[in-house]
């Protein structure tokens, strides 16, 4: 089970001040439960884990099996909440090097639809030329330009390369029940499709088919992933006392630190497999809280890598930051530091120690140094990089995000600011319907 320690924040914010948030946290939890909070039409994620049925999960697994049997490569086309959750889980659970090996037990998962780089898309289509590939087209609105553009290229290539019949088998849509181009195409072409529930926003959708289908195709156990989330749903429930509820404590602590001028939260890992969990978390918190000229700026680093780039800033830069470290209790493999007769590198003092022991001392040493440097530090411990632990971690962050956004008094479930760049891009590209905006923007440049 996941645990949270706020002890290394207490020199910066008092326990009394953090615990003083308890009534507000309780009110936020009740508002989420009762559906009376801001954005209450987007609360479908709240009890999603415990409401997923065996039939639904089995259906996803059956579709995954079709793609596993017919594809060497599967492209997940999506952006933001329609992309990051799947990538976060798959990268956290995957062997770092399997995709480079010739013999594979699952299709290689590749991502597209999250950029508009001509080089990226050219190189992707070149790479796929001799591959048996399939595509999951993921878009809740079904109209996101980045994703639609990539899907247009991939659909054509898949049909040209594999034939219409096979394309129909290996292209799957995850989209709205009724509206949007992705839905229209899926229905017209007869693709297998999944619905993203209306009341689940993109960044909270990892435990819908948006995340579950790619994760199952990659060979991971979605029952265990969901099981971990169900455990956290219970461990963070309304009836759990504040002091024992990690989501409540995390939300309260970060808001208290923010109130005291700690405007930036840095999510830290000591395992490169968690890089995309950081990215998923950045979107979850950034899009949920950055509103009305308020909100903690969510940043992220991978240590040790970034100790040698961002470490200096964190240790001695402006004191407006706090850190939240995700620590993995047990690693999957065992590797000891070998002894060396010549000891030219001077590392014999580590001989016989597990690499993870060295990593854990880097983690502890960093925590103490940063606290000494004026950086409050929270620590989240997950038991391992397993489906169960990651499922729990995702739900923990989602619930804490909902509570935290309500403490900040914003609507955590909308993202009006994301539209601004799209409107400009459409005007600049002369999209039909944007004629007036096109004239206006041309006059500005
Ligand atoms: O969290 C969100 O709502 C966004 O990040 C969306 O997921 C993202 O913009 C993609 O939207 P769509 O799924 O409609 O293509």
Q: Which domains does the chain have, with CATH numbers?
A: 3-39+226-414 (3.40.50.10490), 48-223 (3.40.50.10490)
Atom in ligand 1 nearest the alpha carbon of residue 196: 13
CA angle 226, 288, 83 (to 5 degrees): 50
Pocket of ligand 1 (CB under 6 A): 79-82, 139-141, 144, 147, 201-203, 287, 415, 418
Q: Verify whether residue 279 is a known catalytic residue.
A: no
pLDDT of 99 higher than 90: no
Atom in ligand 1 nearest the alpha carbon of residue 180: 14
pLDDT average, residue stretch 246-265: 98
Percentage with pLDDT > 90 across the chain: 97
Structure tokens at 404: 């935290």
Could you give the CA distance from residue 46 to residue 35 in angstroms, rounded to a whole number? 10
Taking a C-beta distance cutoff of 8 angstroms, is the pair 258, 297 a contact?
no
pLDDT in tens, 335-368: 999 999 999 999 999 999 999 999 999 999 999 9
Structure tokens at 218: 């990659």
pLDDT average, residue stretch 373-387: 98
Residue 18 CB-half CA count within 13 A: 23
The active-site residue out of 279, 287, 387, 398 is 287
Q: Which residues pair with 382 in a beta bridge?
A: 328
pLDDT of 1 higher than 90: no
CA of 171 to the centre of ligand 1 (A): 20
| Per-chain mean pLDDT for the chain | 97
Q: Verify whether residue 55 is a known catalytic residue.
A: no
CA angle 195, 201, 204 (to 5 degrees): 100
Q: Verify whether residue 308 is a known catalytic residue.
A: yes
Longest dimension (CA), the chain: 76
pLDDT in tens, 269-294: 999 999 999 999 999 999 999 999 99
Atom in ligand 1 nearest the alpha carbon of residue 146: 15
The per-residue pLDDT for 33 is: 97
Q: Note if the bond before 350 is cis, omega within 30 degrees.
A: no
- Pocket test of ligand 1: the residue of 76, 80, 207, 284 to mutate, having most ligand atoms within 8 Å of its CB, is 80
pLDDT average, residue stretch 48-67: 98
- Collapsed DSSP state (helix, strand, coil) of residue 306: helix
The per-residue pLDDT for 100 is: 83
The active-site residue out of 103, 129, 308, 334 is 308
pLDDT of 156 higher than 90: yes
């Amino acid at each position: 089970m996941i645990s949270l320690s706020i002890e290394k924040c207490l020199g910066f914010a008092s326990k009394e001040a953090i615990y003083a948030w308890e009534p507000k946290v309780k009110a936020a939890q009740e508002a989420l439960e009762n559906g009376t909070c801001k954005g209450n039409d987007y609360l479908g994620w709240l009890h999603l884990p415990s409401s997923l049925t065996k039939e639904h999960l089995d259906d996803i697994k059956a579709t995954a099996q079709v793609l596993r049997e017919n594809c060497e490569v599967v492209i997940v086309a999506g952006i933001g909440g329609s992309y990051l959750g799947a990538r976060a889980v798959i990268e956290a659970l995957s062997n770092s090097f399997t995709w480079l090996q010739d013999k594979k037990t699952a299709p290689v998962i590749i991502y597209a639809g999250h950029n508009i780089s001509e080089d990226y898309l050219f190189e992707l289509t070149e790479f796929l030329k001799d591959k048996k590939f399939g595509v999951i087209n993921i878009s809740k609105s079904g109209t996101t330009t980045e994703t639609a553009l990539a899907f247009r290229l991939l659909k054509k290539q898949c049909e040209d390369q594999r034939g219409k019949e096979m394309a129909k088998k290996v292209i799957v849509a995850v989209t709205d029940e009724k509206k949007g181009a992705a839905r229209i195409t899926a229905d017209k072409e007869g693709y297998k499709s999944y619905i993203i529930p209306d009341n689940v926003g993109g960044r909270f959708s990892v435990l819908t088919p948006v995340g579950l289908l790619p994760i199952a195709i990659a060979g991971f156990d979605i029952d265990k992933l969901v099981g971990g989330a169900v455990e956290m749903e219970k461990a963070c429930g309304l009836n759990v006392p504040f002091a024992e509820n990690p989501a409540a404590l995390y939300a309260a602590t970060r808001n208290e630190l923010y109130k005291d001028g700690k405007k930036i939260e840095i999510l830290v890992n000591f395992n490169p497999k968690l890089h995309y969990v950081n990215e998923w978390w950045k979107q979850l918190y950034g899009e949920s809280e950055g509103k009305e000229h308020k909100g903690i700026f969510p940043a992220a680093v991978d240590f040790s890598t970034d100790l040698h780039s961002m470490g200096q800033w964190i240790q001695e830069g402006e004191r407006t930051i706090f850190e939240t470290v995700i620590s993995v209790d047990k690693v999957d493999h065992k590797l000891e530091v070998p002894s060396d007769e010549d000891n030219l590198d001077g590392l014999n003092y580590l001989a016989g120690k597990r690499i993870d022991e060295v990593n854990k001392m880097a983690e502890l040493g960093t925590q103490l140094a940063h606290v000494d440097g004026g950086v409050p530090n929270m620590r989240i411990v997950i038991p391992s990089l397993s489906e169960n632990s990651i499922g729990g971690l995702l739900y923990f962050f989602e619930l804490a995000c909902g509570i935290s956004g309500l403490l900040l008094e914003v609507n955590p479930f909308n993202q009006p600011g994301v539209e601004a760049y799209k409107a400009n891009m459409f005007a600049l590209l002369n999209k039909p319907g944007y004629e007036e905006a096109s004239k206006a923007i041309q006059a500005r440049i």
